[in-house]
């Protein structure tokens, strides 16, 4: 059973996330809170495996060092609950990210990935990294190119482009082009200024 704590200031979001997580058989919510003082008091007493935390609980100067706040709990995995724009360098400290518009399957996938990292204790992640060609296709997608335009740009067939797109979705767990574009930006494959 994976013990989960939630730190989210919005009662609406916190309650909704709790309801979704109750549907997972291997997850147990041990507490949820809307403020940092309660979080620090309870987390040290209850030792959850995963903390789902909204970075907006922290003032801007402290957002880059959220992980350091929990150095005394080295086995704690952090998942960022991103409800508005948070800089990519701030998101990198999280083992996973749940975004406001993620569906249940995506949330479940993120939790499974983080839970698997707990169980493997530092082993390689289960998902394969994107190949160089898949990254090129992803960059083209992020720039708004259609399948035939990507095929022309990369000198490959449309069928090959479709195969690469399927592999990208399988490896990232992300289906929408908009979310894949965010993924490309967060992984430094493309800069925001390059997006049309």
The domains of the chain, with CATH numbers, are: 2-120 (3.40.50.2300), 132-194 (1.10.10.10)
Chain-wide mean pLDDT for the chain? 87
Most confident of 32-36, 66-70, 169-173: 32-36
Question: What does the pLDDT average to over 103-132?
Answer: 73
| Mean pLDDT to the nearest integer, 4-13 | 95
> pLDDT-based confidence at 24, cuts 50/70/90?
confident
Would you state the pLDDT for residue 53? 95
What is the pLDDT averaged over residues 149-177? 89
pLDDT at 176: 86
pLDDT at residue 43, as a whole number: 92
* CB 1 within 8 Å of CB 26: yes
What average pLDDT does the segment 182-190 reach?
87
pLDDT above 60: residue 128: yes
pLDDT of residue 88: 77
pTM of the model: 0.61
């Amino acid at each position: 059973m994976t013990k989960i704590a939630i730190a989210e200031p919005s009662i609406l979001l916190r309650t909704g996330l709790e309801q979704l997580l109750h549907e997972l058989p291997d997850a147990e919510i041990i507490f949820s809170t809307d403020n940092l003082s309660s979080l620090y008091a309870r987390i040290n007493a209850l030792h959850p495996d995963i903390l789902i935390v909204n970075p907006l609980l922290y003032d801007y100067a402290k957002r880059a060092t959220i992980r350091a706040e929990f150095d005394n709990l080295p086995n704690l995995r952090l998942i960022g609950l991103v409800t508005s724009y948070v800089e990519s360098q701030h998101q990198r400290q999280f083992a996973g990210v749940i975004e406001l518009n993620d569906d249940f399957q995506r949330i479940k996938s993120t939790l499974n990935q983080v839970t698997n990292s707990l169980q493997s204790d530092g082993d390689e992640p289960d998902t394969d990294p994107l190949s160089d060609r898949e990254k090129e296709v992803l960059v083209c997608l992020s720039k708004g190119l259609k399948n035939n335009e990507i095929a022309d740009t990369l000198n490959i067939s449309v069928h090959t482009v479709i195969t690469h797109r399927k592999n990208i979705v399988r490896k990232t767990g992300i289906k929408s082009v908009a979310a894949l574009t965010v993924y490309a930006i967060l992984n430094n494959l493309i800069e925001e200024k390059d997006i049309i």
